Amino acid sequence: MLNKLSVLLTEKMLQKGSITKEDRELYVYGSFMLLSHLLYLVLICIVGLLLGCILESLVFYVAFQFIRGYAGGYHAKTESRCEILSALSLVVCIVLIRLSKSYDLQTVLFILSIISAVCITIFSPLDTPEKPLSKKERKYFRKISLVILFVIIAVILTTYILHFNALLISCCCSVILEAILILCGKIQYMRLRYHNRIVNSPENTSKINDLEK
């Protein structure tokens, strides 16, 4: 849905002469990213308002988007699946933030966030077989993702010591969610590489050639 809307907006800009055909794909991608961020921001605000934790929800979303943008993570095979899974994961985190107001989850989430930070440090940035990062890109994204992670963890440590639970839980959830996505992405990446290795093995290649004959 978002992709079709992005294409539609780009086509309108082309008709008005605002952009050139050479920039079409770039604007389609840019429009898609902008619309998706706006959609999830609206969702975060609505759920946050309904559950009475709008400020915490916004802090979580901002922190998560920063670390996600550079560390990478799981990518669904289809756009619709991506939108549904993204929305569900964000809503679950906001519900967890709300529950933390009623239950003492601070220590548990603090420990999980530290473990998650180690996971992100090891695996970030995570690219995909379809669009692998160059050595220069990998170095750049890793540097930025680690700086962002360091800032978030510093906030987590400070707020845990000061018992500033609202900010603590939000930042913990952002790191934990990113760690889950990066682990799922790593598993997805390894499975795809294994599948490609099996398919492209000399034995299978020979069998395919025999069948074609």
- State the pLDDT confidence band at 201, using cuts at 50, 70 and 90: low
Instruction: Name which of 111-120, 159-168, 184-193 the model is least confident about.
Output: 184-193
72: β partners: 126
- 141-147: long-range contacts, CB 8 A cutoff, minimum separation 24: 141/70, 141/71, 141/72, 144/70, 145/67, 145/70, 145/71, 145/120, 146/121
- State the pLDDT confidence band at 211, using cuts at 50, 70 and 90: very low
45 to each of 1, 58, 170, 195, 196, how far by Cα in Å? 21, 7, 14, 41, 42
**Per-residue model confidence (pLDDT) at position 190:** 78
- State the pLDDT confidence band at 35, using cuts at 50, 70 and 90: confident
**Per-residue model confidence (pLDDT) at position 200:** 60
Task: Please tell me the distance from the alpha carbon of residue 140 to that of residue 16, in angstroms, as a whole number.
Answer: 37
140 to each of 53, 63, 124, how far by Cα in Å? 35, 19, 11
Enter the DSSP assignment of 19: S
Q: According to the per-residue pLDDT averaged within each range, which of 56-65, 101-110, 121-130 is highest?
A: 56-65
Give me the residue label for tokens 């707020």.
Answer: 159
**Per-residue model confidence (pLDDT) at position 208:** 43
> Is the Cβ–Cβ distance between 170 and 107 less than 8 Å?
no
Q: Which residue has the higher pLDDT, 131 or 68?
A: 68
pTM exceeding 0.85: no
- State the pLDDT confidence band at 194, using cuts at 50, 70 and 90: low
**Per-residue model confidence (pLDDT) at position 204:** 53
The average confidence (pLDDT) of the chain is 83
Task: Please tell me the distance from the alpha carbon of residue 49 to that of residue 57, in angstroms, as a whole number.
Answer: 9
**Per-residue model confidence (pLDDT) at position 72:** 85
Instruction: Name which of 70-74, 131-135, 205-209 the model is least confident about.
Output: 205-209
**Per-residue model confidence (pLDDT) at position 199:** 57
